[in-house]
Amino acid sequence: MFRRMQYLLSWGTLLGISAWLLLAGCSPRTTDSTADGHSITNYQVKGVVKSLQPEEKEIVIKHEEIPGYMMAMTMPFSVRDTNELRGVKPGDSVEFRMRVTETDGWIDQLKVTAAAAPTNSAPPQNSETNSPKGFRVLPNVPELQVGELVPDYSFTNQFGVPIKLSQFRGQALAVTFIFTRCPFPLFCPRMSDAFSTAQKELLKRTSGPTNWQLLSISFDPEFDTPGIMKSYGQRWGADPKHWTLATGSFDQIEPFAVSVGLYFGRGVSIADQNHNLRTLIIGPTGRLVKLFPGNEWTGADLAEALLEAAQTK
């Protein structure tokens, strides 16, 4: 009897270990290293292609949830080899490997699993606006030009206190737009990392202008409450004396965002959210001094731009 129980226990243990190994081997998440020793986390992802720009080595994919890392979302990904995009077209269902380091991210091993269904029909119309369904009319605000006075938009800071841009008059103000649920290192985290780097650089200076401020504004206000923004700021080491994190209503945020060329989805699920990046410098008189499109700039660049703007009249 004892031998039989021992045999059953051993066999059960082996089955358990085998099952664990099988699951481990099929895990959608793996880790390896770059040539210089940095860690790369790899995720196996599925999604549907929304658009692509092979000449820019970029593809926009509406991807499924990536457990433990990112909710379902629509976002642009970069590839390092344009051959990855050969034969791929909008509407295709795809599988790919997403590779993420602490500061970078890209995809490879892209393959089409189901071709886009052919369609000759016009996009469905929204009877209220006579626009394609899913599209809407943006606020009618002029594009803000360098040298122009920035309107006095209102928001709510991370402590639940109403604020206005005019409160920063006399300061050089850097403004960026983020949402806290965005984890991909090339997007919102890169903006916040650059702000954190600029803050550290400016705080350690013993000479030069001290009239500078940072402002991060969420364009996901339904989720990003003041409390969420406060926690997010703490995660990035935001000094409340110099770095404000703000939220508000869409009607407060959207006109400002649109005026500087930021696009994002309003009233769409986070799975359909797709956005670009805009960061701007406002001078002490409240006029736009500089606009940083995209993410091809650094925290050091931002710090220098703030110091230069702080000295403008």
- Write out the chain's pLDDT in tens, 313 residues: 434 434 333 444 433 434 433 333 334 678 877 666 778 999 999 999 999 988 889 998 999 998 888 888 888 899 999 999 999 999 999 999 999 988 888 999 999 999 998 766 544 443 333 333 333 445 578 899 999 999 999 999 999 999 999 999 999 999 999 989 888 888 899 999 999 999 999 999 988 899 999 999 998 898 999 999 999 999 999 999 999 999 999 899 999 998 998 877 666 665 555 678 999 999 999 999 999 988 889 999 999 999 999 998 7
- pLDDT at residue 105 in the model: 87
- Residue 10: inside a domain: no
**Cβ distance 310 to 212 under 8 Å?**
yes
- Residue 11: inside a domain: no
Domain of residue 192, residue span: 140-310
- Residue 19: inside a domain: no
Distance (Å, rounded) from C-alpha 228 to C-alpha 195?
A: 18
- Residue 54: inside a domain: yes
Q: Tell me, yes or no, whether 144 and 264 share the same domain.
A: yes
- Residue 5: inside a domain: no
Q: Tell me, yes or no, whether 153 and 267 share the same domain.
A: yes
Which CATH number is 306's domain given?
3.40.30.10
- pLDDT at residue 103 in the model: 82
**Cβ distance 279 to 174 under 8 Å?**
yes
Q: Tell me, yes or no, whether 234 and 274 share the same domain.
A: yes
- Residue 120: inside a domain: no
**Cβ distance 84 to 108 under 8 Å?**
yes
- Residue 219: inside a domain: yes
- Residue 12: inside a domain: no
Start-to-end CA span in the chain (Å): 92
Q: Tell me, yes or no, whether 234 and 280 share the same domain.
A: yes
Assigned token pair, 220: 């996901």
pLDDT digits (tens, 9 = 90+) for 113-132: 999 987 665 444 433 333 33
The total number of structural domains that make up the chain: 2
Q: Tell me, yes or no, whether 158 and 102 share the same domain.
A: no
Q: Tell me, yes or no, whether 81 and 224 share the same domain.
A: no
Q: Tell me, yes or no, whether 150 and 107 share the same domain.
A: no
- Note the pTM of the prediction, 2 decimals: 0.70
Residue 54, SS3 per DSSP: helix
Beta-ladder partners of 278: 293
Q: Tell me, yes or no, whether 149 and 110 share the same domain.
A: no
70: phi > 0 → left, psi -120 to 50 → alpha, else beta; which?
A: beta
Q: Tell me, yes or no, whether 144 and 277 share the same domain.
A: yes
Q: Tell me, yes or no, whether 253 and 160 share the same domain.
A: yes
Q: Tell me, yes or no, whether 63 and 160 share the same domain.
A: no
Which CATH number is 77's domain given?
2.40.50.320
**Cβ distance 105 to 99 under 8 Å?**
yes
- pLDDT at residue 306 in the model: 97
Q: Tell me, yes or no, whether 222 and 77 share the same domain.
A: no
Torsion of Cα atoms, 151 then 157 then 161 then 163, to 10°: -10
